[in-house]
Amino acid sequence: MHSRRLASGIVLPGTNAILMSSYKHEAFAFANRLTDEQIRFFNKHGFLHLKNFIPRETVNHFIGEIDQIHEELISNNVKKINGIPLKYGYASNNRQIIQRLAFASHYSKTLSSFLKDERLNALLPLLGNYEGRIGEDEKDGLVVNHYENTSQSTFKQLGWHTDSPRDLFLGSRILPMLNVGLHLDDCPVSNGGLRFLPGTHKQNLFGLFFRKKYFVDNNPDKHEVGVDIEAGDLTIHNGSLWHRVEQSPHSGEKSRRRVMYIPLITGAYKPKHASSKTPFYHKLAQIKLPSLKWRSASLPDYSYTQTVKS
Ligand SMILES: O=C(O)CCC(=O)C(=O)O
């Protein structure tokens, strides 16, 4: 099918706009460097799943650090870090928590030294020819998301989006970036969690902006893929890949999902500081973008079977 030009001049891509590829989920073991097969998989689908990147004891240690950061920030009534708003809410035991925490490594030596781990640097080749770095002090820094279904939760799901347009709001052109998620809870697909549309990182600008309504669309897509995650696993997604977080069907502790996101970025070094402005994209969730119906035929069907490759 060919592209179609609307009266407005906008070109609606046809079926060839997205590389036709079938997705069969594979989770990989990671030693100290990426294999050619892992790089190929990531380039093709925009997503990579590495099993047991850190052991359970380290997961528990990180959770302890995060709890301490919450206590410190809550007792000091901190609302923003480097211009990035913190999302406050309550966990199932009525404990006040921060459900989206930015620049977490600025409050923990343990988390900060983890960001300097050589094994994280070894993921930079996924940026291709670009010279990459770990954005500890840039964008939103190390982000910790805490989803939980409670009556006073402010974070139960996250609507469809890509991460790339944020660059525009930060006054730069869109540059390649990777979001590396370190998962701190087991989260099988049946408990909600990350969903993504494989291959969409290769779309044109129209697809990047209008495939779905940013953040307000929480509807499942027949082409989406979910992944069985265990605490300690790492996922890496291309910043231009469409993804969302599905709400858990459970409530309370059973619905809890904590994940740390590490930005791998390129381009000019732009550190944030205490007087940095709040970027506009943090208000996007409240804004309704125009609805354009997307022909679902533009994505192939994907199958999900989990095999672990070393
Ligand atoms: O929590 C997740 O797994 C995804 C988070 C995400 O997409 C975001 O913070 O932009």
Does 158 sit in the ligand 1 pocket, CB within 6 Å? yes
Q: Taking the chain, what is the end-to-end CA distance rounded to the nearest angstrom?
A: 39
**pLDDT, mean of residues 60-65:** 98
Does 243 sit in the ligand 1 pocket, CB within 6 Å? yes
Give per-residue pLDDT as tens, 35-44.
999 999 999 9
Superfamily of domain 65-292 in the CATH hierarchy: q2cbj1_9rhob like domain (2.60.120.620)
What does residue 214 show for φ and ψ, rounded to 5 degrees?
A: -55, 125
Does 142 sit in the ligand 1 pocket, CB within 6 Å? no
Q: Ligand 1 pocket test: which of 100, 139, 194, 201 has the largest number of ligand atoms within 8 Å of its C-beta? A: 194
**Three-state DSSP state, 110:** helix
**pLDDT, mean of residues 263-273:** 95
Higher-pLDDT residue of 47, 287 = 47
Does 181 sit in the ligand 1 pocket, CB within 6 Å? yes
| Protein residue whose Cα sits closest to atom 10 of ligand 1 | 163
CA–centroid distance for 100 within its chain = 12
Q: Ligand 1 pocket test: which of 145, 195, 237, 238 has the largest number of ligand atoms within 8 Å of its C-beta? A: 145
**Helix (H) or strand (E) segment spanning residue 96:** strand 96-101
Q: Tell the burial category of 52 from Cβ atoms under 10 Å away from its Cβ (0-12, 13-18, 19+).
A: middle
pLDDT of residue 21: 57
Q: Which two tokens stand for residue 215?
A: 């953040």
Q: Can you tell me which atom of ligand 1 is nearest the CA of 163? A: 10
Residue 56: pLDDT over 60: yes
pLDDT of residue 8: 39
CA of 196 to the centre of ligand 1 (A): 11
CA of 280 to the centre of ligand 1 (A): 17
pLDDT of residue 11: 35
CA of 154 to the centre of ligand 1 (A): 14
CA of 244 to the centre of ligand 1 (A): 7
| Nearest residue to 284 via CA among 236, 214, 197, 233 | 214
Does 259 sit in the ligand 1 pocket, CB within 6 Å? yes
**Three-state DSSP state, 129:** coil
Q: What is the pTM of this model?
A: 0.86
Please tell me the distance from the alpha carbon of residue 242 to that of residue 238, in angstroms, as a whole number.
9
C-alpha radius of gyration, the chain, whole number: 19
| Nearest residue to 277 via CA among 138, 79, 83, 78 | 83
Domain ranges of the chain: 65-292
pLDDT of residue 171: 65
Residue 309: pLDDT over 80: no
Does 73 sit in the ligand 1 pocket, CB within 6 Å? no
Band of residue 34 on the pLDDT scale cut at 50, 70, 90:
very high
Query: Whole-number mean pLDDT of the chain?
Result: 86
Give per-residue pLDDT as tens, 148-171.
999 889 999 999 999 987 766 666
Does 245 sit in the ligand 1 pocket, CB within 6 Å? yes
Please tell me the distance from the alpha carbon of residue 38 to that of residue 31, in angstroms, as a whole number.
12
Q: Can you tell me which atom of ligand 1 is nearest the CA of 194? A: 3
Does 145 sit in the ligand 1 pocket, CB within 6 Å? yes
Q: Which of 213-217, 263-267, 301-305 has the lowest mean pLDDT?
A: 301-305
pLDDT of residue 165: 78
Does 263 sit in the ligand 1 pocket, CB within 6 Å? no
Sign of CA dihedral 12, 1, 175, 136: positive
| Nearest residue to 301 via CA among 210, 191, 224 | 224
Q: Which two tokens stand for residue 270?
A: 């732009």
Residue 113: pLDDT over 50: yes
Q: Around Cβ 94, how many Cβ atoms within 10 Å?
A: 9
**pLDDT, mean of residues 85-97:** 93
CA of 233 to the centre of ligand 1 (A): 15
**pLDDT, mean of residues 78-96:** 94
Q: Which two tokens stand for residue 233?
A: 């696993």
For residues 85, 225, 254, 86, the Cα torsion angle rounded to the nearest 10 degrees is 0
Does 38 sit in the ligand 1 pocket, CB within 6 Å? no
Q: Which of 12-26, 198-212, 244-258 has the lowest mean pLDDT?
A: 12-26
